[in-house]
């Protein structure tokens, strides 16, 4: 029998890529989204008889109770994403990022699977020298990180769940985001030709948005042997400092002027490197390199003319 997947936030940066992959794989997909950014990212799916869109709020108990009927798998992507967006609207951050997950977990049958994307920003400000594993204590430094970590714990304490601690995403998506680090550095190179970087040695792990979508499908196909666990999801060779990332962009945009500021600080204080060995042992590997992502971003930015695609 074809599995029926409910994706909340399915019109978003990761969601719209994921929905397309699920439909291509033959799954039945229902998307719930409020379209707060006035997205049109799912229009290409309207011809597909396995696709259903519902305009609504994942915080509505009545709506969620109805949508969960007949669903086999839930992928709750709806979230206020990133520390600036959460700090700007802390009430929405709390109610969407945590309360809605608690509601979903209370309403769902324990036979229904949940594959939940959280963030490896929960590792906070480690030294950037020691690899963070799934056993590393979580020390989120932002409201965004705290709400996602708390929601992850709630789900892992329940049955039939997998949580994915996603690296910082990059790459082209129909619901584009330019505020993500690789995307932003490439945008600055292409449009401004220069950038000022604080804390150039602070490190982060990265993962292409298409690899992230593919990981969700991998988890569905291997759910029984993976359930009950968190997994870091990132590109093994992409534990990069800001300086290393900027130099990768400069390889493809030679006129890019990079200034490393000695005075001042970045409000985003995250600094960590991540081990993806656990999910690699299960058989999943992210494959799309940062260089490939930068190349496609440069092409995509020829199409985008305005900075209308941040998450604020």
pLDDT in tens, 210-220: 999 999 999 99
In a domain, residue 186? The reply is no
In a domain, residue 155? The reply is yes
In a domain, residue 274? The reply is no
Instruction: Report pLDDT for 127.
Output: 54
Burial class for 1, CB neighbours closer than 10 Å (0-12, 13-18, 19+): exposed
Instruction: Report pLDDT for 126.
Output: 59
**Total number of domains in the chain:** 1
Instruction: Report pLDDT for 82.
Output: 83
In a domain, residue 12? The reply is yes
In a domain, residue 282? The reply is no
Low-confidence ranges of the chain (pLDDT < 50): 312
Helix (H) / strand (E) containing 206? strand 203-208
Helix (H) / strand (E) containing 88? helix 83-88
CA 23-168-166 angle, 5° bins: 60
Q: How far apart are CA 266 and CA 268, in angstroms?
A: 5
Per-residue pLDDT reduced to its tens digit, 272-312: 899 999 999 999 999 999 999 999 999 999 888 655 555 54
Domain that holds residue 58: 4-170+206-233
Instruction: Report pLDDT for 101.
Output: 98
Q: How far apart are CA 61 and CA 165, in angstroms?
A: 27
Per-residue pLDDT reduced to its tens digit, 220-238: 999 999 999 999 999 999 9
Q: What pTM was estimated for this model as a whole? A: 0.94
How far, in whole angstroms, is CA 295 from its chain's centroid? 20
In a domain, residue 49? The reply is yes
Instruction: Report pLDDT for 310.
Output: 55
In a domain, residue 281? The reply is no
Instruction: Report pLDDT for 68.
Output: 97
Q: Can you give the C-alpha Rg of the chain in angstroms?
A: 19
Sign for the pseudo-dihedral over CA of 281, 111, 122, 249: positive
In a domain, residue 214? The reply is yes
CATH number at residue 160: 3.40.50.720
């Amino acid at each position: 029998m074809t599995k029926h997947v409910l994706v909340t936030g399915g019109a978003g940066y990761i969601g719209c890529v994921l929905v397309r992959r699920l439909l291509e794989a033959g799954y039945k997909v229902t998307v719930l989204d409020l379209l707060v950014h006035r997205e049109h990212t799912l229009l290409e799916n309207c011809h597909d008889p396995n696709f259903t869109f519902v305009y609504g709020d994942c915080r509505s108990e009545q709506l969620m109770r109805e949508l969960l009927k007949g669903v086999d798998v839930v992928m709750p992507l709806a979230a206020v994403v990133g520390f600036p967006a959460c700090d700007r609207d802390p009430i929405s951050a709390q109610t969407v990022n945590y309360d809605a997950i608690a509601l979903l977990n209370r309403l769902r049958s324990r036979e229904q699977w949940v594959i939940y994307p959280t963030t490896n920003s929960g590792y906070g400000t480690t030294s950037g020298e020691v690899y963070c594993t799934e056993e590393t204590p979580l020390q989120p430094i932002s409201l965004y990180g705290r709400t996602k970590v708390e929601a992850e714990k709630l789900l892992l304490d329940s049955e039939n769940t997998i949580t994915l601690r996603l690296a910082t995403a990059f790459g082209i998506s129909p619901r584009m985001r330019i505020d993500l680090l690789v995307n932003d550095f490439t945008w600055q190179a292409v449009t401004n030709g220069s950038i000022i970087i604080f804390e150039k040695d602070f490190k982060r792990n990265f993962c292409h948005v298409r690899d992230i979508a593919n990981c969700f499908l991998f988890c569905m196909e291997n759910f029984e042997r993976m359930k009950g666990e968190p997994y870091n999801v990132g590109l093994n060779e992409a534990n990069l400092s800001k300086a290393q990332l900027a130099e990768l962009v400069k390889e493809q945009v030679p006129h890019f002027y990079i200034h490393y500021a000695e005075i001042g600080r970045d409000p985003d204080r995250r600094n960590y490197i991540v081990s993806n060995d656990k999910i690699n042992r299960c058989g999943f590997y992210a494959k799309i390199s940062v260089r490939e992502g930068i190349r496609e971003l440069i092409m995509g930015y020829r199409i985008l003319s305005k900075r209308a695609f941040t998450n604020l």
